[in-house]
Chains A and B, each alone.
Chain A
């Protein structure tokens, strides 16, 4: 079971934040096939948010084929995102840490590091789709 949280300042729509948190948990192996997500009522009572927000997030996850709702029982994880890439996470993280250390040695502050990462990430995505 996971517990949701909301970041009011992120600019990301609340339902989208819930979707992202489930996807992240699936990717990191925190949620596995067969796990039950908290009920709409549980999420609502915890976060004081609109029930429609939670339903919408769960519907989107269902459309993506990640979870399935069994009426009267709950919403269950049907697929994991942690497949065979999980093993690669460690080395990739080490590479990234090395790169971050290098950036700091070059005198970049946090904001510049974020900016350079963001713009490279975006332009690489654009090249991939082009």
Chain B
């Protein structure tokens, strides 16, 4: 299978507010996908739709070739670790493994036990007494021992300190290297997922701003700096993402597959963080522009 998640016109509405709108995506298999955007952008909604905990209000979504809410939903083939790494505070580590074995037909008991031993977790310890990092690692252990083809992780490292965050990502990447596994992990910080991911989806204000292979994205986005210039005079092949001007100078972030040959421009590459920020600020501008016209309509 070449695509793990495919969505077309996907949307989810809570009362009158769209938490996700017009989301059309194809996520290739065998990748580690970073789903990045500010809090409230719709990341959790997207993951909940993918795992079948929510039903779409519009459009459709297919995960591993099946509808997540349908009769043949791929429940045993998809692993999900929700926000705040859910564990049962009153249950011991061993209880969690027993529960995992009971609920999942493809449960890999050997792997689960090995991971628990390697992490130095006491099987008798209650989950409520574990540190945040240990709880996250326990949740990851359960998610991996299920032997899923696709693992969805909602803000897995947000609540962790830098060391625990590093250890968590090290273990996750090791699992990706070992198992044939596709991963989607969400984060509100690019820097958290930058090294781990090779595919990026930027979600802002309930809409997908940009999605694609990270190297391709970094190769096709450029920052142009030079004498002040009207965007209308830029070549059509250069799609303007952001533009800012002083009285003499213009700075553009453009998306283009062709090299920029105009000698007036100083051309530089973007970091992944710059790229994400460019798309975020574009959306913020679009929102600001939309407001006065809405007021005029009233």
**Interface residues, chain A, with chain B CB atoms under 8 Å away:** 6, 8, 11, 13-14, 40-41, 44-53
How many angstroms from the CA of A41 to the CA of B179 in the assembled complex? 11
The contact of B173 among A8, A13, A14, A45, by CB within 8 Å, is: A45
Q: How far is the CA of A46 from the CA of B174 in the complex (A)?
A: 9
Q: How far is the CB of B273 from chain A (nearest CB, A)?
A: 10
A50 to B175: give the CA distance in the assembly, Å.
11
Alpha-carbon distance A11/B218, docked complex (angstroms): 10
Instruction: Tell me the bound Cα distance from A40 to B177 in angstroms.
Output: 7
Q: Is the pair A48, B170 in contact by a Cβ cutoff of 8 Å? A: yes
Q: Separation in Å of the A48 CB from the closest CB of chain B?
A: 4
Residues of B at the A interface (CB closer than 8 Å) are 30-32, 166, 169-171, 173-174, 176-178, 191, 194-198, 215, 218, 269, 271
Contact B177 A48 (CB under 8 A): no
Say whether, besides A13-B215, A13-B218, A52 and B174 are in contact (CB < 8 Å): no
Nearest 7 Cβ contacts at the A-B interface: A48-B169, A51-B177, A44-B173, A48-B170, A49-B195, A45-B174, A41-B177
| CB-defined A-B contacts under 8 Å, sample of 12 | A6-B195, A11-B269, A13-B215, A13-B218, A41-B177, A44-B177, A45-B177, A47-B170, A50-B32, A50-B195, A51-B173, A53-B198
Interface of chain A: mostly helix, strand, loop or mixed: helix
Q: A13-B218, A14-B195, A45-B170 are in contact. Are A50 and B176 (CB under 8 A)?
A: yes
Please give me the residue from chain B that is nearest to A55 by CB atom. Answer: B177
Residues on B with beta carbons closer than 8 Å to the beta carbon of A8: 191, 194-195
Q: How close is A55's CB to chain B, nearest CB, in angstroms?
A: 9
A-B contact count (CB 8 A): 51
The residue of chain B having its C-beta at the shortest distance from the C-beta of A14 within the complex is B195
Q: From residue A49, how far is it (CB to closest CB) to chain B in Å?
A: 4
Contact A50-B196, Cβ < 8 Å, known A13-B218, A40-B177, A41-B177: yes
- Nearest B residue to A41, CB-CB: B177
- A48:B196 contact, CB within 8 angstroms: yes
Given A11-B271, A13-B215, A13-B218, verify A47-B195 contact (CB < 8 Å).
Answer: yes
Q: Which of A6, A47, A50, A51 has the most CB of B within 10 A?
A: A50
Smallest beta-carbon distance B3→chain A, Å: 17
Which of chain A's residues have a CB closer than 8 A to the CB of B178?
41
Nearest A-chain residue to B219, judged by Cβ: A13
Q: Shortest CB–CB separation between residue B178 and chain A, in angstroms?
A: 7
Chain B residues with Cβ under 8 A from A13's Cβ? 215, 218
Q: How far is the CB of A7 from chain B (nearest CB, A)?
A: 11
B171, B195, B218 pick with most chain A CB within 10 angstroms: B195
Q: Are A50 and B271 in contact (CB under 8 A)?
A: no
Write out the residue numbers on chain A whose beta carbons fall within 8 Å of the beta carbon of B173. Answer: 44-45, 48-51
A49 to B214, CA, bound (A): 13
Residues from chain B with Cβ under 8 Å of A51 in the complex: 173, 176-177
CA A8 to CA B191, docked complex, whole Å: 9
Q: Which residues of B contact A53 (CB under 8 A)?
A: 195, 198
Query: CA separation between A51 and B176, bound complex, in Å?
Result: 7
Complex formed: what's the CA distance from A49 to B30 in Å? 15
Q: How far is the CA of A46 from the CA of B166 in the complex (A)?
A: 10
Q: Which of A14, A48, A52 contacts B166 (CB 8 A)?
A: A48
Note all chain B residues with C-beta closer than 8 A to A46.
170
Q: Which residues of chain A are near B166, meaning CB under 8 Å?
A: 48
Min C-beta distance of A37 to chain B, whole Å: 14
Report how far A45 CA is from B32 CA in the complex, Å: 15
A50 to B191, CA, bound (A): 14
Name the distance in Å between A10's Cβ and chain B's nearest Cβ. Answer: 10
Task: Tell me the nearest residue of chain B to A6, going by C-beta.
Answer: B195
A67 to B166, CA, bound (A): 30
